């Protein structure tokens, strides 16, 4: 991509894992609304479940997730008892016949759980929220803490997809972010998981980290390709030290600038595409026969808090501190501080502290943004018709986008707009034009590229 375009469009924009985005959630939605929304779910509606484990035993300095460093296991045990209470609170409200189609354990590091606790949590979830026989069950894996007994426990509870954190294989980079992970460890995790029957493997890579270079990210891409994963996510390091204080431990002078970040992202993408992976949305790659690539080809790809997904359930239940859920009525988020989550559970009430009802305009704008983020293409007037809205609703946005068309970021055919392949990294900037909240408040996001 032309560096002039990068300069012009590389602004601070959301990643659009939801719309409205999380900074626009507020206290108008709390435990009572969530309880009512759960009770209103039609019996039998398929569910998706996200479980958050907010602990790690070492802290990567780049980490942008809700997690806490622990050097004892007791807080983890105590948290699991609270999670069991929350599972019970949700189960008591949701009626009958809800099969779980997608289960995702994220964090933090779910692999911090001892094998017997993996079995216990899996059992508690299966008893309260049974999974469909063809459900996808994915877990985020930190290969630095994955004893064989943990792999066996994950396989036993039905995990069938693993996302392994890799980032970069270079030791200089690893030391600069406090995440030393020899390649043999990553290989052992992938081999062990596959041997246990967990065959769908995703790898998470990053660019934009301190001391990363084109050569280093290429070497990481080649290493990843050799492991033959089904999917690869390539995240641009989001450096927001004013929000994530531990990121101040990173030497800002060693961070690549915008041009270097773009060159790194392009170098990895080139390698992955040459190896047969299909680029998906903003930051994913998948083998052409993977369900994600098929969903993308068929225009059925979805975007949620875990990124790109084939999950089309109308209700996502978020469990654990900071977890976000989405019900047909709106978004809900649990308390982030562990003590606040604990207080709610001990008092026997849901831990929802903020959220956002989804209104008709949100639904329409959200649909336009989701199609752009997933397909890089959208016909806004057609979506207006589907949503029963005035076909000219987006006339002002389409006028703004004329500039993007002149700059070669977008092609316009009839009413539809398509982000050009070489401008793929700017898709968030195009989506932001349709964001009705962006101009309303000061929110802090990461750079687009």
Ligand X SMILES: C[S@@+](CC[C@H](N)C(=O)[O-])C[C@H]1O[C@@H](n2cnc3c(N)ncnc32)[C@H](O)[C@@H]1O
Give contact residues for ligand X (rule: CB under 6 A): 62-65, 106-107, 109, 140, 142, 165, 167, 204, 206, 235, 237-238
DSSP per-residue letters across 203-245:
EEEEES-TT--HHHHHHHHHHHHHT--SEEEEEEP---TTTSG
Q: Which does 206 bind (CB under 5 to 8 A by kind): ligand X, ligand SF4, none?
A: ligand X
Q: Which does 95 bind (CB under 5 to 8 A by kind): ligand X, ligand SF4, none?
A: none
Instruction: Enter the DSSP assignment of 12.
Output: B
Q: Tokens standing for 346?
A: 């001990």
When binding is defined by CB under 6 A, the residue of 24, 48, 82, 107 that contacts ligand SF4 is 107
Q: Judged by CB, which is closer to ligand X: 165, or 325?
A: 165
Strand pairing partners for 51?
105, 319
User: Sign of torsion, CA 308 310 314 319?
Assistant: negative
* Contact set for ligand SF4, span 132-161 (CB under 6 A): 142
CB of 274 to ligand SF4, least distance (A): 28
CA–CA gap between residue 326 and residue 385 (Å, rounded): 24
- Select from 9-17, 56-64, 255-263, 397-405 the region that touches ligand SF4 (CB under 6 A): 56-64
**Rama region for 345: left / alpha / beta (φ>0; ψ in -120 to 50; rest):** alpha
Residue whose pair of structure tokens reads 């109308």 in the numeric block: 314
CA–CA gap between residue 381 and residue 334 (Å, rounded): 36
Instruction: Enter the DSSP assignment of 193.
Output: H
CB of 297 to ligand X, least distance (A): 25
Sequence-ordered list of residues with C-beta below 8 angstroms from that of 250, at least 6 positions apart, any chain: 61, 62, 176, 177, 210, 239, 241
CB of 107 to ligand SF4, least distance (A): 5
When binding is defined by CB under 6 A, the residue of 12, 35, 45, 59 that contacts ligand SF4 is 59
CB of 446 to ligand X, least distance (A): 7
Q: Judged by CB, which is closer to ligand X: 102, or 179?
A: 179
**What is the enclosing helix (H) or strand (E) of 36?**
helix 31-39
The answer to whether 281 contacts ligand SF4 (rule: CB under 6 A) is no
Q: Is 162 helix (H, G, I), strand (E, B) or coil?
A: strand
SS (H, E, C) 375-402: HCEECHHHHHHHCCCCCCCCHHHHHHHH
Q: Tokens standing for 253?
A: 């002078």
The answer to whether 168 contacts ligand SF4 (rule: CB under 6 A) is no
The answer to whether 340 and 328 have CB atoms below 8 angstroms apart is no
Question: CA of 448: how far to CAs of 66, 221, 439, in Å?
Answer: 21, 21, 17
CB of 53 to ligand SF4, least distance (A): 9
Q: Judged by CB, which is closer to ligand X: 41, or 206?
A: 206
CA–CA gap between residue 21 and residue 12 (Å, rounded): 14
Q: Which does 33 bind (CB under 5 to 8 A by kind): ligand SF4, ligand X, none?
A: none
Q: Judged by CB, which is closer to ligand X: 224, or 430?
A: 224
* Contact set for ligand SF4, span 290-319 (CB under 6 A): none
CB of 394 to ligand X, least distance (A): 31
Residue whose pair of structure tokens reads 């189609």 in the numeric block: 101
Angle at 48 between CA 42 and CA 53, to 5 degrees: 135
Q: Judged by CB, which is closer to ligand X: 67, or 375?
A: 67
SS3 of the chain: helix, strand, coil, percent, to 5: 40, 20, 35
When binding is defined by CB under 6 A, the residue of 18, 33, 48, 109 that contacts ligand SF4 is 109
CB of 90 to ligand X, least distance (A): 23
The residue among 111, 90, 83, 140 whose CA lies nearest residue 315 is: 90
Q: Judged by CB, which is closer to ligand SF4: 142, or 168?
A: 142
Q: Which does 235 bind (CB under 5 to 8 A by kind): ligand X, ligand SF4, none?
A: ligand X
The answer to whether 108 contacts ligand SF4 (rule: CB under 6 A) is yes
Instruction: Tell me how crowded residue 59 is: count the other CB atoms within 10 A of its CB.
Output: 15
Q: Which does 115 bind (CB under 5 to 8 A by kind): ligand X, ligand SF4, none?
A: none
- Select from 31-39, 107-115, 156-164, 426-434 the region that touches ligand SF4 (CB under 6 A): 107-115
CB of 139 to ligand SF4, least distance (A): 13
Q: Tokens standing for 27?
A: 């206290």
CB of 441 to ligand X, least distance (A): 22
The answer to whether 165 contacts ligand SF4 (rule: CB under 6 A) is yes
The answer to whether 67 contacts ligand SF4 (rule: CB under 6 A) is yes
Q: Judged by CB, which is closer to ligand SF4: 238, or 254?
A: 238
Name the site residues for ligand SF4 (rule: CB under 6 A): 56, 59-60, 63, 65, 67, 107-109, 142, 165
């Amino acid at each position: 991509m032309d560096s002039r375009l990068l300069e012009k469009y590389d602004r601070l924009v959301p990643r659009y894992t939801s719309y409205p985005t999380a900074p626009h959630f507020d206290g108008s939605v709390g435990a009572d609304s969530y309880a009512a929304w759960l009770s209103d779910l039609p019996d039998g509606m398929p569910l998706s479940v996200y479980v958050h484990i907010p602990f790690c035993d070492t802290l990567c300095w780049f980490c942008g997730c809700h997690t806490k460093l622990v050097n004892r296991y007791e807080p983890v045990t105590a948290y699991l008892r609270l999670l069991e209470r929350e599972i019970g609170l949700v189960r008591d409200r949701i009626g009958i016949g809800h099969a779980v189609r997608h289960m995702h354990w994220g964090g933090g590091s779910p692999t911090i759980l001892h094998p017997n606790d993996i079995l216990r949590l899996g059992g508690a979830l299966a008893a309260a929220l049974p999974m469909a026989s063809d459900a996808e069950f994915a877990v985020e894996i930190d290969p630095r803490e994955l004893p064989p007994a943990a792999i066996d426990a994950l396989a036993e509870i039905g995990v069938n997809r693993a996302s392994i954190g890799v980032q970069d294989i270079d030791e200089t980079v690893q030391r600069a972010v406090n995440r030393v992970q020899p390649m043999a460890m990553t290989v052992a995790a992938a081999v062990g998981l596959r041997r246990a029957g967990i065959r769908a493997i995703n790898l998470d890579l990053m660019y934009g980290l301190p001391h990363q270079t084109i050569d280093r990210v290429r070497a990481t891409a080649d290493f990843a390709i050799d492991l033959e994963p089904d999917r690869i996510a390539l995240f641009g390091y989001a450096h927001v030290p004013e929000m994530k204080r531990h990121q101040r431990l990173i030497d800002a002078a060693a961070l690549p600038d915008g041009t270097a970040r773009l060159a790194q992202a392009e170098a990895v993408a080139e390698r992955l595409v040459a190896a047969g992976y299909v680029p998906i949305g903003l930051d994913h790659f998948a083998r052409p026969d993977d369900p994600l690539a098929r969903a993308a080809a068929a225009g059925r790809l979805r975007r949620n808090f875990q990124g790109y997904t084939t999950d089309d359930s109308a209700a996502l239940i978020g469990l654990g501190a900071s977890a976000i859920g989405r019900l047909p009525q709106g978004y809900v988020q649990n308390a982030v501080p562990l003590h606040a989550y604990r207080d709610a559970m001990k008092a026997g009430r849901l831990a929802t502290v903020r959220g956002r009802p989804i209104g008709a305009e949100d639904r329409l704008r959200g649909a336009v943004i989701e199609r752009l983020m997933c397909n890089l293409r959208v016909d806004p007037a057609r979506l207006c018709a589907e949503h029963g809205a005035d076909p000219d609703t987006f006339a002002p946005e389409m006028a703004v986008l004329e500039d993007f068309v002149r700059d070669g970021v977008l092609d316009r055919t009839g009413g539809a707009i398509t982000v050009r392949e070489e401008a793929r990294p700017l898709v968030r900037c195009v989506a932001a034009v349709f964001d009705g909240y962006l101009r309303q408040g000061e929110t802090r996001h990461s750079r687009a590229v």
